[in-house]
Chain A
Amino acid sequence: MTCEEFAAVGLDLDPSGADEALQQAARDHLRECPQCAALQANWLALRVDLRALGTETAEANAPARVEMRLRQEFRTIHKTVKRQRMAFVAGWSLAAAAVLLCAFAWINWRHQRGPVVAHKQSTAVQSAASQRNFGPTVPITTPAGAELGDVLVASSSSGDFTLLPGSLPPAPEDATVVRVQMQRAALGALGLTVNEEHAGDWIQVDLLIGDDGLPQAVRLPPASTQTSN
């Protein structure tokens, strides 16, 4: 073994650190080389000093104030995190509740509005008709979907008045019923759809005239059914 090889592996001569043959070679080299032997002796002396230095601080612990500060920091951080989480959950819960409330309110409003409008309209026209003795009743129906812009069809299957597009139910005291004879095609001018095959037929029509003199609703009396359709 050379001095360099010895320096690389043999200074601490730790049996657990290298194989036995190498350790034996290092020990043999020590016996032969006074320079390496002196180096080894110095190293062992220094090692004793180092171990003593290690022992001096072996029982050293961080002062209690460090733990106190850390615990304080731990509490602060976790309290803040907890608060942030609670605020986050509360915020989202409130937002969800508000959205649900709005949705329920809107659905309710939608449900209530349709029947109420239809009811009001039919009640108003009925009362007008009964006051002026235009017959037993002058019911007006708003066809389903009329508000949504659907096409109105001149139908003679029902005996009720059908509101013309864009007209409001007339006030009962101002409404007048006028029976006229016209060609079915003329109903197109009132905004109703007319079957082209029967467009030239003459029919009798009841018009509900408002106080402005314009027709507000139309009714095809059952008697005209045969001639109109």
Chain B
Amino acid sequence: MPIESQQRDDALLRRSAKGDESAFAEIYHRHQATVYRFALRMTGNSWAAEEIVQDVFITLVREPKKYDVNRGTLGAFLYGVARNRIMKHLERAPRHLSLDEKGDAAQDNYPQLHEQMTPARWTELRERREQVRAAVLELPTEFRETVVLCELDEMSYEEAARTLECPVGTIRSRLHRGRALLLAKLEMLRDVPKRANAGR
């Protein structure tokens, strides 16, 4: 995040802490989308994502002093709070989502039926997308958040490491494990030929 943007966040937060509602609204508009998307991709549930966004910003309103300027950017702080809330949500949530909940996050985001696309192709794409979504949601949390940040959010390893407050090497290894698990879940390893020479 550029320094100007961080300074702007800090100034807005100071004004917000003094009761300036417009400053708070600006902070919300600057960061709500990233927090919401992260929550949505991690939980696969728009209601949960909505609740998490609300919790994150209420924390900012009630305890603005929790954010320490010297420890990082406001964005990273909000990501951190969101992560905690997501973990709590995932601990509470049932292991298997109901059909309604499964459909909730996906129903607005199905691939659009283009003129060039046959219904069969469209159905195939939709099924494939659903499989990938389900596979991501079934990943263990630490691998899931790395995959979400690096693959879905397209963050660099360094950005992801800063966000998750861990070394870049950890991100690399989690991503490697996450990818392997995803490939296994999607049965994409089935057509890979047996290793001819393990020593190569």
Contact = CB atoms under 8 A, between A and B. Distances in A.
Given A50-B151, A60-B33, A74 B61 contact: yes
A50 B132 contact: yes
B154 A62 contact: no
A113 to B, nearest CB: 52
Contacts of B200: 2-3, 29, 32-33
Contact of B133 (A8, A53, A63, A75): A53
Given A60-B33, A69-B54, A74-B61, A54 B152 contact: yes
B135 to A, nearest CB: 9
Given A3-B195, A47-B151, A70 B133 contact: no
Interface string A71-108: 10111011001100000000000000000000000000
Residue among A3, A49, A51, A78 having the largest count of chain B Cβ atoms under 10 Å: A49
Contacts of A51: 151-152, 154
A53 B136 contact: yes
Contact of B193 (A34, A67, A75): A34
A43 interface: yes
B40 interface: yes
B179 A62 contact: no
B50 A46 contact: no
Nearest to A16: B156
A34 B194 CA distance: 9
Contact of A70 (B61, B111, B189): B61
B21 interface: yes
A52 interface: yes
B28 A3 contact: no
Interface stretch (B69-77, B84-92, B114-122, B180-188): B180-188
A45 B188 contact: yes
A46 B109 contact: no
Interface residues of B, number: 54
B57 interface: yes
Contacts, number: 124
B24 interface: yes
Contact of A62 (B49, B109, B136, B192): B49
Nearest to A38: B192
B157 interface: yes
Contacts of B109: 56-57
B113 interface: no
B21 to A, nearest CB: 6
A61 interface: yes
A185 interface: no
A175 B36 CA distance: 99
13 contacts: A17-B157, A42-B189, A51-B152, A52-B129, A62-B33, A62-B35, A62-B50, A62-B53, A63-B50, A70-B57, A74-B61, A77-B62, A78-B21
Interface of A: 2-3, 7-8, 11, 16-17, 29, 32-35, 38-39, 42-43, 45-47, 49-54, 56-58, 60-63, 66-67, 69-71, 73-75, 77-78, 81-82
Interface of B: 16, 19, 21, 24-25, 28, 32-33, 35-37, 40-41, 49-50, 53-54, 57-58, 61-62, 109, 111, 128-129, 132-133, 136, 147, 151-154, 156-157, 172, 176, 179-180, 182-183, 186, 188-189, 191-200
Given A16-B156, A50-B132, 15 more contacts: A3-B200, A17-B157, A34-B196, A38-B191, A42-B191, A46-B183, A46-B188, A47-B151, A56-B109, A57-B37, A57-B152, A70-B24, A73-B58, A74-B16, A82-B19
